[in-house]
């Protein structure tokens, strides 16, 4: 079996929260953003991460690249723990892990031209390249992502949302990374543009053997691009499995609820399918429920769910539920 490109083990992210007016001796409250998340990403594989807003998806992505402080282990190619490296040593790995952000326009410097934006990572990570070599690489990557050569001196505000996201992809790929972290890269785009960006990422992945961590709300997009899917809720892994298993046989009630909300492009099936509603709102991560964090909204919650924190296990199909399995009609009603 090949070595994972990246292995996350028991990754935790905590934030100390103070409120206006708190006295200096007031103990700050702790926000549990990511709680004990573990997963592997193999070379050339796509791991989809899904969940509601506020479940810790983006925080997890930022923790992997040291944008926010985290504890646990993030092992790169079976050698180095990225979370244990000094900032200077971490710099050597930043060209291997690049990120595409959710808002394509906000992630680009409005005072830089397209050519400057794409060449900036090359100037940072590849100072050995000459000016002509940098210019050649920029032209090549622009052509690769579908940006015309005459666009090179334009500024971000002159592009559409889809074009800005292509610029973000080009900037991330300029240094030839091994892992691409996509933080909801298509959520701000029209449906037709979403399909183009997803197809571009898949094409680049095949050609460059990229590994991708793909974060999204849209389960249909995740199904289209991912090899494995991990479902988060309040910073914890609820379920993780290969795509075929998790879409055809979801075991966790939360996963089943998310799946039931995905529109089906068949009027007959859409009218007859069972929707699993989630009652109440997402609990505050500063005071999560005891035991299973999903129990306050789970139609199958029982007394032991308030006492025991379910572990997702180590099988190929991981499910952090004390009572897994398909929900019955009585439980859904």
Q: What is the pLDDT of residue 118?
A: 95
Domains of the chain, residue spans: 6-96+177-332
Mean pLDDT estimate for the chain: 90
Q: How far apart are CA 138 and CA 144, in angstroms?
A: 10
Entry pTM? 0.91
Phi-psi domain of 133 (left: phi exceeds 0; alpha: psi -120 through 50; beta: other): alpha
β-sheet bridge partners, residue 230: 49, 240
pLDDT band at 1 (very low <50, low <70, confident <90, very high): low
145-187 pLDDT, tens digit per residue, is 889 999 999 999 999 888 998 999 999 999 999 999 999 888 7
Q: What is the pLDDT of residue 329?
A: 76
For Cα atoms 124, 128, 134, give the angle at the middle one, nearest 5 degrees.
70
Cβ-based burial of 36 (10 A; exposed 0-12, middle 13-18, buried ≥19): middle
Q: How far apart are CA 277 and CA 280, in angstroms?
A: 10
Backbone φ and ψ of 13, nearest 5°: -130, 125
CATH class in words for 6-96+177-332: alpha beta
Residue 324, C-beta contacts closer than 8 angstroms, at least 6 positions apart = 251, 252
228-258 pLDDT, tens digit per residue, is 999 999 999 999 999 999 999 999 999 999 9
pLDDT band at 117 (very low <50, low <70, confident <90, very high): very high
57-105 pLDDT, tens digit per residue, is 999 999 999 999 999 999 999 999 999 999 999 998 999 999 998 888 8
**DSSP collapsed to 3 states, 273-317:** CCCCCCCCCCCCCCCCCCCCCCHHHCCCCCHHHHCCCCCCCCCCC
Q: How far apart are CA 286 and CA 251, in angstroms?
A: 27
Tell me if 25 sits within 8 A of 207, measured CB to CB.
no
Instruction: Say if residue 106's pLDDT is above 90.
Output: no
């Amino acid at each position: 079996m090949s070595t994972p490109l990246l292995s996350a083990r028991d990754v935790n992210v905590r934030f100390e929260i103070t409120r206006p007016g708190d006295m200096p001796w007031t103990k700050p409250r702790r926000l549990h953003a990511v709680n004990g998340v573990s997963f592997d990403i193999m070379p050339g594989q796509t791991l989809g991460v899904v969940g509601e807003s506020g479940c810790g998806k983006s925080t997890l992505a930022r923790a992997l690249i040291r944008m926010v402080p985290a504890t646990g282990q993030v092992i790169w190619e079976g050698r180095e723990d990225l979370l244990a490296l000094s900032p200077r040593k971490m710099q050597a790995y930043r060209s291997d892990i690049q990120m595409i952000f959710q808002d394509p326009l906000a992630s680009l410097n409005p005072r830089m031209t397209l050519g400057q934006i794409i060449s900036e990572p090359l100037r940072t990570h590849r100072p050995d390249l000459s000016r002509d070599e940098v210019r050649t690489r920029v032209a090549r990557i622009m052509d690769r992502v579908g940006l015309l050569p005459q666009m090179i001196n334009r500024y971000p505000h002159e592009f559409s949302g889809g074009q800005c996201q292509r610029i973000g992809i080009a900037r991330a790929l300029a240094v030839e990374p091994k892992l691409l972290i996509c933080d909801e890269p298509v959520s701000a785009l029209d449906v037709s543009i979403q399909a183009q960006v997803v197809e571009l990422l898949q094409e680049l992945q095949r050609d460059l053997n990229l590994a991708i961590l793909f974060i999204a709300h849209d389960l249909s997009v995740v199904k289209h691009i991912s090899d494995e899917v991990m479902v988060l809720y309040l910073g914890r892994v609820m379920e993780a499995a290969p795509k075929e298993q998790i879409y055809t046989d979801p075991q966790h009630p939360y996963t089943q609820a998310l799946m039931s909300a995905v529109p089906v492009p068949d009027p007959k099936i859409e009218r007859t399918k069972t929707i699993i509603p989630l009652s109440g709102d997402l609990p505050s991560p500063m005071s999560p429920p005891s035991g299973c964090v999903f129990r306050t909204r789970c139609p199958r919650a029982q007394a032991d769910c308030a006492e025991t924190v379910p572990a997702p296990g180590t099988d190929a199909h991981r499910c952090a539920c004390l009572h897994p399995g398909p929900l019955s009609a009585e439980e859904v009603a």
